[in-house]
Amino acid sequence: MELVVFSLLLGVALLSFLIVLTFYVVWSRIVGLDPTVAQRFVSLTKIKRFVMALLTGALLGTGVVVAPSVRVGVAGIVMLAASTFAALLLFELVQYRSAEKS
């Protein structure tokens, strides 16, 4: 039973962050900004991207394991994904404003 719950929560985590990253890039393009975080990630070497993906997966996996229930785990994942999306949007706004003032 634990494997099923772990798989479910990990799947929700992966899908939610994939959707967040897709929305981030699409939103940036719609408003006419360059998605600088995505561009910086793509410009990294393969080994650095691998290490970053491995660390992110380990953090998500650890978060899924310590979730006390499925509902709490899904709620936490969704809140984390929404917070990440908001942080990315704020970062892009600050980048745009600082470049505009320069």
57-68 pLDDT, tens digit per residue, is 888 778 777 888
Distance CA 42, CA 10 (A): 24
Q: Is the Cβ–Cβ distance between 74 and 6 less than 8 Å?
A: no
pTM score: 0.77
Q: What is the pLDDT of residues 10-52, one digit of tens each?
A: 888 888 888 998 898 888 888 887 788 888 888 999 999 999 8
